Structure 1
Amino acid sequence: MTTRLSARDVTLGYGDRVVSTRLTLDVPDGAFTAVVGPNGCGKSTLLRAFVRLLTPDEGAVTLDSRSVSDLPAKGLARELAFLPQDPLAPEGITVRQLVARGRYPHQSLLALWTPDDERAVAEAMVTAEVEDFADRQVAELSGGQRQRVWVAMVLAQDTPYLLLDEPTSFLDITHQYRLLALLSRLRNEGRTVIAVLHDINQACRFADHLVAMKDGRVAAEGAAADVVDAALIKDVFDLPSVIVADPVSGTPMVVPE
């Protein structure tokens, strides 16, 4: 496994509240990594550390063996695109304007907007299926529509890494699977995807690499077929279950007892 993005012996927290202690994780290049676990186990905290929104108290998050804290902000934003759980759109902003903000890392003082920027925004809106309401204000949209707009903004950033914290929130079941299929396609095209997912069965079906977290630590990681069993689900989620084969993908499927 090759990796450019890593967390090495990191201790993460908020003030006096420690979330993770000496956590180490290598993100596989060119893979779709799904991070799963119960609420409050440190999934979102880990993603925030990867994109420098949270500085480790100990250890380091590195990209190409360099601490992300040492990288220029725009340089890091050209590598890592991040969709948080509850993003807020400025008042009065339209869909097209919000998606266009994803191009900020690629702009310079000499060329503030280019044909490449225009093309990236248009393609991102089509891919995320939001082009039909491009000129509407974001505040007018449903929760699911807004979530797709935020996904479009991340896509417009055009980075080799996509980090998404619960990207299927607010989406109906159809758009959940369309988004996960899209992330799989982007992985096939060479992107590295890291997503926090709540649905363990969706994670097993779509992800190459599963990271199960509990109490701020990595309880297990690897291919779903190698790590998901009833003992892991009981340990991580405190849920008695049986594991069967997904009838469509053949990947593990968790059935609560």
Structure 2
Amino acid sequence: MPRLTADALELAYGDRVVAPRLTLDIPDGAFTAVVGANACGKSTLLKALVRLLTPNSGTVRWDGEDLHALRPKTVARRLGFLPQGLTAPENTLVRQLVARGRYPHQSLLATWSPADEQAVADAMAAAGVAELAERRVEELSGGQRQRVWVAMVLAQETPYLLLDEPTTFLDLAHQYQLLRLLARLRDEGRTVVAVLHDLNQACRFADHLVAMRGGRVVAQGAPADIVDAALVEAVFDLECVVVPDPVTGTPMVVPHA
């Protein structure tokens, strides 16, 4: 059985139901990309999977146990989450913000350890922000700040990483750098779930796609198995042809002129 599952979730904000009955298993050890048009429920799904949003009905489970029954630090040691629109406190240095990722591993009696220091250093190096360690976060560009937030989640050292639009604000080179990093983490045994807007990037780097529309899963599976012109039109209302990517051979969407 997959470790992280969602069963018959009704997700809503007040009286507005976003997902009426959503069931999904997250494949272990895979890079899952969640794709779909704006406001289809992608971010809402991720919030439910990390229990930032309580379902009206249905259950999110970790190893068969209701996720809401677990202690907060237990969840935070298993699921690392990067939401959208984060803001750091003023005068916070990059290394201080990244160090906050170690919170789930701290206790009232524990002191900052060499292992904590190494985890922060490794996370900053992986996210490409080591040279920014002594800079204030508010001084950075949007793309630099995004990479710092990614480093904070990496410092958490969780077996599962869930990221909501992690390529936001990143230039093209840094988008691919981050996606390669996520694919490498998958290859090293982590489970990665990311909301991505670029379907071609999702097809190139993820090995499992979840395509959503109207709060429902329209299709899921390997990109080569599910991505065709009919799916793209059903999910995005976009007429296109789907051809092999000339570099990877994965599906590549080419919109009609």
The TM-score, its normalising length taken from structure 1, stands at 0.99
Q: Which residue of 1 aligns with 2:89?
A: 90
Secondary structure class of the residue paired with 2:125 = helix
Q: Which residue of 1 aligns with 2:199?
A: 200
Question: Following the alignment from structure 1 to structure 2, what is the Cα–Cα distance between the partners of residues 3 and 186?
Answer: 18
- 1:116-139 Cα deviation digits (max 9, x unpaired): 100000110111110111011000
Secondary structure class of the residue paired with 2:103 = helix
Q: Which residue of 2 aligns with 1:152?
A: 151
Partner AA of 1:232 in structure 2: L
**1:106-117 matched pairs, under 5 angstroms:** 106-117=105-116
Q: Which residue of 2 aligns with 1:175?
A: 174
Question: Following the alignment from structure 1 to structure 2, what is the Cα–Cα distance between the partners of residues 45 and 112?
Answer: 36
Q: Which residue of 1 aligns with 2:24?
A: 25
Partner AA of 1:53 in structure 2: L
Q: Which residue of 2 aligns with 1:142?
A: 141
Partner AA of 2:80 in structure 1: A
The TM-score, its normalising length taken from structure 2, stands at 0.99
Q: Which residue of 1 aligns with 2:10?
A: 11
Q: Which residue of 1 aligns with 2:162?
A: 163
CA RMSD of aligned residues (A): 0.6
**Tell me, which stretches of 5 or more residues in structure 2 are unaligned?**
none
Deviation at 1:239, TM superposition (A): 0.2
Q: Which residue of 2 aligns with 1:133?
A: 132
Question: Following the alignment from structure 2 to structure 1, what is the Cα–Cα distance between the partners of residues 204 and 118?
Answer: 32
Question: Following the alignment from structure 1 to structure 2, what is the Cα–Cα distance between the partners of residues 129 and 32?
Answer: 21
Question: Following the alignment from structure 1 to structure 2, what is the Cα–Cα distance between the partners of residues 180 and 7?
Answer: 25
Secondary structure class of the residue paired with 1:36 = strand
Deviation at 1:112, TM superposition (A): 3.1
- 1:4-48 Cα deviation digits (max 9, x unpaired): 001100000100000001100000000000000000000000000
| Count of residue pairs brought into register by the alignment | 256
Secondary structure class of the residue paired with 1:78 = helix
Question: Following the alignment from structure 1 to structure 2, what is the Cα–Cα distance between the partners of residues 112 and 161?
Answer: 25
- 1:44-102 Cα deviation digits (max 9, x unpaired): 00000011100000100111011111000000000000000111111111100000000
Deviation at 1:113, TM superposition (A): 1.1
Partner AA of 2:170 in structure 1: L
